[in-house]
Each structure stands twice: as C-alpha cells, then as structure tokens.
Amino acid sequence: MSSFELNKIAGAVLTVALVAMVIGIIGDALVKPKEHKGTTVVTAAPAVIKKEEKKLDPIGPLLASANVEKGKKFFKNCSNCHTVNKGGAHKIGPALWEIVDRAMGGGSGYKYSSGMKKMTAKWGYEELNGFLHKPRKYVKGTKMSYSGVKKAKDRANLIAYLRSLSDSPKPLP
Ligand code: HEC
C-alpha cells in the first residue's frame, strides 16, 4: 500500500472521528438541561388550570339527603335519549333501568362507542358522578353528546333517581 493511500485512509478516519465529536457536542447541548446555579425557578400554574384539575368531590355523602323527585325532574334533560322503565328500549342512548352496578357499556343489544367499550368498571355512584359531570372527559370518545351536569347537588339528585330505577335499589354508600 502506498503512503498516499495510507494518508487517504487516515484522513477518512479522522474526518469520521471529527464529525462524530461535533455531533456529540451538539447532541449534548440539545439534551442537557441548563443548570440554574443558586436560583430556583418556580413556574406558577395559572389558577384556571388548577381549578380544572381539582378532583371531583365524592358524591356519596350527598346521596343520603338527595331528592329523588328533583332528580326525576332533572332527568327531562336526558329523556330524549334514554328510557327509564323496566324493559325499556334503547333510544339514542342505552336503556337505563338497573343502571347502578351495571357494567359500563353493558346494556345488551346497544351499540356503544369504542370509547365506552374500553371501559371495564361498573357504574357505581362515584363512577356515575364522574361521567355525568363531564361525559367526554370521563369516557374518551363517548358518543353521548351531553355537556354534563355542573352542580353536585343536581348530580346527587339525578344519581338518586337513577338508583331508584330498579326492583331492588342498591344500598346507599
Ligand atoms: C343526546 C343524547 C343523550 C343525552 C341528552 C344524554 N345521554 Fe346518556 N348516553 C347517550 C349515548 C349515545 C350513550 C352511549 C355512550 C357511548 O356508547 O359512548 C349514553 C350513555 C349513558 C350512560 C352509560 C350507560 C351504559 O349502559 O353504560 C349513562 C349512565 C347515561 N348515558 C346517563 C345519562 C343521563 C343521566 C343524562 C342526563 C343528564 C344523559 N345520559 C343524557 C346519549 C345521551
């Protein structure tokens, strides 16, 4: 091998090493977090976001004093889409007789959204509370197009009414 060829090889090796080094330096600069010496960076979350993320209070304590009649009245907001009688048919939404403790997406013969089909729990009181508060947040991809029931008291009355849709209502929590 001539020394000219050796030089070419050495040159190529050096170039590769150099490129690797430069990439390494740039990579480090991109990935390494900057260190703040002596200062603590505090980012204040906007109040709005904090409020949004606040956990929903449990509905259990409100159920004992909930008013089934008021819940029935409030259900007028739901009755376009849901039946409540024993053996009631599915409408736009599934029939709600015996809904408490029924599996989520468990109304037989009803075509649920894929989002609801993914839910594996049962409709306990707190689950109903979460869903009725913000349906689309609680069940991602639900096809229930209803914005939700804002007031805890309204939800308590409503859930007490849903509980009554049964031959033997489930015990209160
Ligand atoms: C515009 C029609 C519509 C309105 C109004 C509506 N729903 Fe629904 N609801 C649906 C649909 C559709 C589903 C099925 C959701 C899915 O498959 O994602 C559903 C699902 C449900 C479920 C779950 C049932 C199951 O078998 O898993 C409950 C509980 C429920 N609705 C209660 C209510 C209550 C209470 C109201 C009133 C505050 C209400 N809905 C208002 C259409 C509606």
Categorize the per-residue pLDDT at 21 as very low, low, confident or very high, splitting at 50, 70 and 90: low
* Over residues 103-121, mean pLDDT: 98
More reliable by pLDDT, 47 or 161: 161
- CA 92 / ligand 1 centre spacing (Å): 8
How far apart are the C-alpha atoms of 162 and 165, rounded to whole Å?
5
More reliable by pLDDT, 108 or 4: 108
Among 13-17, 79-83, 123-127, name the one with the lowest average pLDDT.
Answer: 13-17
- CA 102 / ligand 1 centre spacing (Å): 14
- Kindly state whether residue 82 falls inside one of the protein's structural domains: yes
* CATH number of the domain enclosing 116: 1.10.760.10
Categorize the per-residue pLDDT at 47 as very low, low, confident or very high, splitting at 50, 70 and 90: low
At residue 8, the pLDDT reads 74
Contacts of 145 (CB under 8 A, 6+ apart): none
Torsion of CA 51, 66, 80, 110, to 10 degrees: 90
- Kindly state whether residue 44 falls inside one of the protein's structural domains: no
At residue 35, the pLDDT reads 52
At residue 46, the pLDDT reads 58
- CA 52 / ligand 1 centre spacing (Å): 23
What range defines the domain where residue 112 resides? 58-163
At residue 120, the pLDDT reads 97
The residue whose CA has the least distance to atom 36 of ligand 1 is 78
- Kindly state whether residue 13 falls inside one of the protein's structural domains: no
- Kindly state whether residue 78 falls inside one of the protein's structural domains: yes
- Kindly state whether residue 93 falls inside one of the protein's structural domains: yes
- Kindly state whether residue 79 falls inside one of the protein's structural domains: yes
Using CB atoms within 10 A of its CB, is residue 2 exposed (0-12), middle (13-18) or buried (19+)?
exposed
Tally of structural domains, the chain: 1
Structure tokens at 135: 């349906």
At residue 52, the pLDDT reads 56
* Over residues 27-50, mean pLDDT: 58
Atom of ligand 1 nearest to the CA of 111: 17
- Kindly state whether residue 168 falls inside one of the protein's structural domains: no
- Kindly state whether residue 118 falls inside one of the protein's structural domains: yes
More reliable by pLDDT, 99 or 13: 99
- CA 96 / ligand 1 centre spacing (Å): 9
The residue whose CA has the least distance to atom 40 of ligand 1 is 78
Ligand 1, CB cutoff 6 Å, lining residues: 77-78, 80-82, 92-94, 96, 99, 104-107, 112-113, 115-116, 123, 128, 132, 139, 142-146, 149, 158
